[in-house]
Amino acid sequence: MDRVLEFVDSHISDRLSDLYYTYGGRLSWLTSVAGPGLQKQIASIFTNSNNVIRQGIELFLITWIMGTIMYLGTASFSYFTYFEREEAHRHPKFLKNQEWLEIKTALLNLPGMALLTFPWFLAEIHGYSQCYDRLDEYGYTYLICSVVMFLLFSDFAIYWIHRALHHRLLYAPLHKLHHKWVIPTPFSSHAFNFLDGYAQSLPYHIFPFLFPLNKYLYLFLFGFVNLWTVLIHDGEYLSNNAIVNGSAHHAVHHMYFNYNYGQFFTLFDRLGSSHRQPEAEMFDAKLRTNSTVIRKQISISDSIQKEVEGKDDRVYAHNGGEL
Ligand SMILES: [Zn+2]
Ligand SMILES: [Zn+2]
């Protein structure tokens, strides 16, 4: 993150310093109102790239803006290029104005997530993490192993965090919002309560504080996990893979709630007895849209939904969610 901050400093923030030097004199009224201490602090935020408040504000804005660009960019690309929009729209469980609701939910919650996330990046640039600079610092074997470790560590921790978010005390206040989307679209990917999203992103931030991780690889992995979140909501059921927790597995999670809590692999769901293999029909476009198949799917989904949430307060696009 220090390299990103340096880039922003030299291309954007230092322009603010120039503005301060040009117009800063106009803030002299602050000295009479709040004393010279506050004006000195403001001058330091504008002009000193090592000022921790300035760094915090910059990191918050970078996290928020980059997060929003990545979300809208990747989800829009997926939605407009290969996402089966018509198939999703025809499904009885698709909500009225669902895409707009998803985008609105994500955009309202991304600032809160960025606010909770930037202290991790601030601690990292101040040298508290185990992020390292040179690719060969711990050897290339470790570099490759650190990717596997990162994915397994995150998947294990997310599995338990996600499972805990399904506990009846946490589900309604934190996680129910993300389960509003029974038929997810790529825009569902970041459409959650900011505390829910932050809780599930915690393992990504904790990992480099426990294990050495190359800082460029960390940026790449951070981009990858955001992309993966979109990919598991894109309805593109590539294969019924037994190891990878793909889009079909996560679609099962949205449809049947209490299964497939993992993010990358099916391993921890298998160990925790919460694995549910997607039905073969999901991989056949004709069968997937067959009314008998959908009716059976809805009947199972409705009974689990009642058990988990009680009354269904979703507003469906057609027929009150019935076929
Ligand atoms: Zn869930
Ligand atoms: Zn989801």
Which of 17, 32, 50 is the endpoint of a domain? 50
Read off the pLDDT of residues 39-81 as tens digits, 9 standing for 90 and up. Answer: 677 777 777 778 899 899 999 999 999 999 999 999 999 999 9
pLDDT tens digits, residue range 229-273? 999 999 888 778 889 999 999 999 999 999 999 999 999 999 999
My answer on whether 43 and 66 are in the same domain is no
Please say whether the beta carbons of 298 and 93 come within 8 A: yes
Cβ-based burial of 57 (10 A; exposed 0-12, middle 13-18, buried ≥19): middle
pLDDT tens digits, 155-175: 999 999 999 999 999 999 999
Query: At which of 26, 50, 74 does a domain end?
Result: 50
DSSP 202-258: HHHHHHHHHS-EEHHHHHHHHHHHHHHHHHTTS-------SSB--HHHHHHHHHHSS
Confidence of residue 274 (pLDDT cuts 50, 70, 90): very high
Task: Look at residue 3 in the predicted model and tell me its pLDDT.
Answer: 76
Report the run of H or E that residue 265 belongs to, with start and end.
none
Q: Are residues 64 and 36 in the same domain?
A: no
For 204-213, b/e burial (b = at least 16 CB within 10 A) is bbebbeebeb
Scan for tokens 């690719």, then name that residue. 135
Q: How sure is the predictor about 28, in pLDDT bands with cuts at 50, 70 and 90?
A: low
CA of 228 to the centre of ligand 1 (A): 16
Domain that holds residue 12: 1-50
What is the number of the ligand closest to the CA of 263? 2
Q: Where would I find the beta strands (DSSP E) of 101-228?
A: 131-132, 213-214
Query: What's residue 281's pLDDT?
Result: 87
CA of 174 to the centre of ligand 1 (A): 10
- Reported as a single tens digit per residue, the pLDDT across 127-160 is 999 999 999 999 999 999 999 999 999 999 999 9
Provide the pLDDT for residue 29.
66
Distance (angstroms) between ligand 2 centre and the Cα of 178 equals: 6
Tell me, in angstroms, the distance from the centre of ligand 2 to residue 163's CA: 13
Residues 68 and 45 in one domain: no
Same domain, 42 and 91: no
80 lies in the same domain as 42:
no
- The verdict on 251 and 109 lying in the same domain is yes
pLDDT, position 133? 94
Q: Is the pLDDT of residue 23 over 80?
A: no
Question: Do residues 145 and 211 touch, judged by C-beta distance below 8 A?
Answer: no
Last residue of a domain, one of 15, 30, 50: 50
Q: Which residues pair with 132 in a beta bridge?
A: 214
Q: State the pLDDT at residue 48.
A: 77
How many A from CA of 253 to the centre of ligand 1?
7
**Are 165 and 42 found together in one domain?**
no
Residues 70 and 212 occupy one common structural domain: yes
Strand, helix or coil for residue 47:
helix
Per-residue pLDDT tens digits for 188-209: 999 999 999 999 999 999 999 9
Say whether both 16 and 59 belong to one domain. no
Looking at the CA of 181, name the nearest ligand: 2
**250 C-alpha to center of ligand 2: Å?**
6
Q: Separation of 94 CA from ligand 1 center, angstroms?
A: 17
Q: Which ligand is nearest to the CA of 235?
A: 2
Query: Does 250 lie in the same domain as 282?
Result: yes
Domain count, the chain: 2
Residues 3-13 have a mean pLDDT of: 74
Q: Is the same domain home to 16 and 124?
A: no
Q: What is the pLDDT of residue 83?
A: 93
Based on the fold, state whether residues 208 and 91 are members of the same structural domain. yes
Output the CA 74–ligand 1 centroid distance in Å: 21
Overall average pLDDT of the 85-108 stretch: 96
| Per-residue pLDDT, 266 | 95
**Least distant ligand from the CA of 309:** 1
Q: What is the pLDDT of residue 320?
A: 72
Q: For residue 212, how far is its CA from the centre of ligand 2 (angstroms)?
A: 30
